[in-house]
Chains A and B, each alone.
Chain A
């Protein structure tokens, strides 16, 4: 075991990919000279050279399009977008090209592209750098969406994503980069298909992913003190959803609270709730609860930002409500 951070785990994954496969290269804003806005690629330019660690202009549409072209040409590009807010400039390339080309070419051309980007709030970066829009991407057929919430997943999801013949978007919650922990020395590729049960429980399923996992686990700890055994599901893959794991958990606990830093309206949490209605209705003992971001642009002041986001206390309240106890 080695003590490490989420950021170092991401860097270790990048380094492994670059070393293992000469078709892999990294490109994005400030990934080279600056070492990455979140310092994930620090040192890689020196180690792998400017051919494979490429700084790009501030033009998301252009460099994501270049990544798609490179992937079509046989490369295995890793494109880093600084935050999900900026990825909207590349939405056309992602939705209209990356996600569709295999379909529109009748299977002749696939796009083995990996796009990494930071998502989420909590660091006072205000409304243009703090949103959680991964749920939008999870709407799109033709791309796979994953959200590593642990060191092992930060370390292991990238290689598996590169192996995928189709586009994979990896959403790294910006609040996780400083997360510390131990990682086995032989940590490596992990599956990017299944959800994980991060804590067993029988009374309630807390369904979450990414930056909200730690909050859900903290809430579960509080609930345990009240005699409520909450199961915590880490979705890991947002598209496709691992329905089997979700349904098995809810069949056992009969109650679910979904924790999602995205807004509630038209969201991933709404989708999961709908699937529970469709497939687990007769298992339910309470309405499916949701803890989401307040429906405002994420505020800059710390106290307002905290108030706008899911927090352990809100999760605890929703859980109590699902169990018929006073919130």
Chain B
């Protein structure tokens, strides 16, 4: 199944030749689609007879690509040009020319019009759901129950409600679909704090750096060695991203939160990051975020430093595959070289998608962030 929303594909290459014996699951061709190159499998054993489609050809879904004789059938294809389509008897009858899709995989979700409309409003993904309606159709009530959204009639209208519903839908989907694992570590933030005080001493108030930009930059640089935390889960697989766009969770005064992206955070100096961060916060709270900022983040960072929490346990924002949380930097006892000393410490935590990475890699990623923060002058 090349995808229910696909209309055409371009044949890239044949991987089998006429006469080749095929068993179920063999890859016979590669087709380029809007979603990237897809390998075409055979769903039935048999013999490849004749290749009809030529590499480079763009074909509508359902077009004849090749003929194929099922196991035990005799190949009776005439040589020469393909027979006119109105004479099916010249084809071995049960020989599928395209692999038949398994009914479950990629089948359109049965959902009522009301359910689809509501799911669209909530940004709620219906994929894979079975509902309570006729023949297992997903109903409006199913969408509202599973997305965590309350029926509109029971709640106050307005933008806040819409935002709460959107957050609910995204987080419900995250908790339902993403097998999270969590790691946390304590980072020595003493040196970074001292460096920051020194760096700010010569700056006018408006240009001062907040410690949050050190965290953003450290995460961005650490990601270069940890690509499995940067990108998206889509179409059943991980799509790593080369650019590093860090989503910054910003709480809004009227309630709710939003996580717009700072693009290419790894390549930007701290002063520029600080300017962009201030600008982003201002626009997040006054409106005026760009759609790319809202959709491009490849990972999200949340810092609840002002709230005095020790540790954050993040919920990944789908389709991203990881989120980093930072607690409040605070002076605490710290054992170092046989001495207990007071140091400014910070807890960094990671929630990551187990479909993509394991704790071992996650631990290295967190450690890399901590190490980068030991040399703030290099950030």
Q: Taking beta carbons and an 8 Å cutoff, which residues of A are in contact with B?
A: 254, 281-287, 321-324
Contact = CB atoms under 8 A, between A and B. Distances in A.
A245 B131 CA distance: 29
Closest 7 CB pairs of A and B: A285-B112, A324-B133, A285-B139, A282-B117, A324-B134, A285-B114, A282-B113
Q: What's the dominant secondary structure at chain A's contact region?
A: loop
A226 to B, nearest CB: 15
B232 to A, nearest CB: 30
Interface in B130-162: 131-137, 139-141
A201 to B, nearest CB: 15
B115 interface: yes
Contacts, number: 41
B114 A282 contact: yes
Contact of A285 (B115, B135, B136): B115
Contact of A284 (B114, B131, B132): B114
Nearest to A277: B113
A322 B133 CA distance: 7
Q: What's the dominant secondary structure at chain B's contact region?
A: helix
Contacts of A285: 112-115, 133, 137, 139-141
Interface residues of B, number: 16
Given A285-B133, A286-B133, A324 B139 contact: yes
A284 B112 contact: yes
Given A254-B140, A285-B139, A285-B140, A322 B117 contact: no
A283 B116 CA distance: 10
Contacts of A286: 112, 133-134, 137, 139
Contacts of A283: 113-114
B114 A287 contact: no
Contacts of B117: 282
A282 B141 CA distance: 14
A324 B137 contact: yes
B359 to A, nearest CB: 42
A322 B113 contact: no
Given A284-B112, A286-B133, A286-B139, 11 more contacts: A281-B113, A282-B117, A285-B112, A285-B114, A285-B137, A285-B140, A286-B134, A287-B134, A321-B134, A324-B137, A324-B139
A282 B113 CA distance: 5
Contacts of A287: 134
Nearest to B115: A285
A325 B139 CA distance: 13
A254 B132 contact: no
Nearest to B142: A285
Nearest to B135: A324
Counting chain A CB atoms within 10 Å of each CB, which of B114, B132, B139, B141 scores highest? Answer: B114
